[in-house]
């Protein structure tokens, strides 16, 4: 690792390196496979460069909503999201470059930065308002998804009866955002918490 900050960060008194896998996540802790428990305020889970997180494409960790429905099943049944960052039925769950969250013809990193900034502003607003949870409203997310799909049907990767990895088994493009980076930036600049269910 080429960095003069990484190893000193690991030596700080408030930092613990747990070199085992994650067994489970609870409301305020990470349970490690070696039996250790680490209390946390936030978890940033990075899957590396494998789509889905594992070699077989499945998620590296099963995320389950309050209704005990796994995220994987929810998205299989009804793949849509709110602005590519939030999924109805999963409060306080945010993702970067989720469904229809990236601009196809531009840097993935810029889309990721826009999403990260949006998520950070959501968390800051939650803290400022004393909110326990925020959850994307299903009706708003579905309307947003339907509008994007209508636009995407007019684009080259959705026409000509061609198959490609952008399209799901129903011919929907779940990978890309149909607009420009400027449009995505404008959309994500508005927080829009009125389009969420807020819990105090």
The answer as to whether 101 is a domain residue is yes
| Token pair recorded at residue 66 | 């309050």
Overall domain count for the chain: 2
Task: Report pLDDT digits (tens) over 154-166.
Answer: 888 777 666 777 7
Question: What is d(CA 129, CA 131) in angstroms, rounded to the nearest whole number?
Answer: 5
Residue range(s) defining the domain that contains residue 30: 1-43
Which of 137, 190, 145 is closest to 170 using CA atoms?
A: 145
Residues of the chain with pLDDT under 70: 1-2, 45-60, 160-162
The answer as to whether 73 is a domain residue is no
| Token pair recorded at residue 18 | 């747990």
Q: Which residues pair with 4 in a beta bridge?
A: none
The answer as to whether 54 is a domain residue is no
Task: Report pLDDT digits (tens) over 83-114.
Answer: 999 999 999 999 998 889 999 888 889 999 99
In terms of domains, do 17 and 115 share one?
A: no
In terms of domains, do 107 and 189 share one?
A: yes
In terms of domains, do 5 and 104 share one?
A: no
CATH of the domain at 91: 3.50.50.60
> Which 3 state secondary structure label does DSSP give 118?
helix
**pTM of the predicted model as reported, rounded to 2 decimal places:** 0.74
């Amino acid at each position: 690792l080429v960095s003069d900050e990484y190893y000193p960060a690991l030596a700080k008194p408030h930092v613990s390196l747990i070199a085992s896998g994650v067994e489970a996540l609870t409301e305020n802790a990470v349970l490690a496979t070696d039996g250790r428990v680490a209390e946390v305020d936030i978890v940033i889970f990075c899957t590396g460069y494998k789509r889905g997180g594992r070699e077989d494409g499945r998620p590296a960790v099963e995320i389950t909503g309050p209704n005990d429905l796994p995220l994987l099943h929810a998205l299989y049944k009804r793949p849509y999201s709110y602005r590519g960052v939030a999924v109805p039925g999963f409060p306080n769950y945010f993702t970067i470059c989720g469904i229809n969250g990236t601009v196809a013809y531009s840097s993935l990193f810029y889309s990721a930065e826009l999403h990260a900034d949006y998520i950070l502003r959501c968390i800051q607003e939650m803290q400022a308002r004393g909110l326990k949870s925020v959850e994307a409203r299903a009706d708003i997310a579905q309307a947003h998804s339907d509008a994007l799909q209508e636009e995407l049907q007019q684009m080259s990767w959705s026409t000509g009866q061609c198959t490609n990895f952008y399209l799901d088994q129903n011919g929907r493009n779940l990978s890309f955002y149909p607009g420009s980076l400027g449009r995505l930036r404008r959309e994500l600049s508005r927080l829009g918490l009125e389009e969420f269910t807020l819990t105090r």
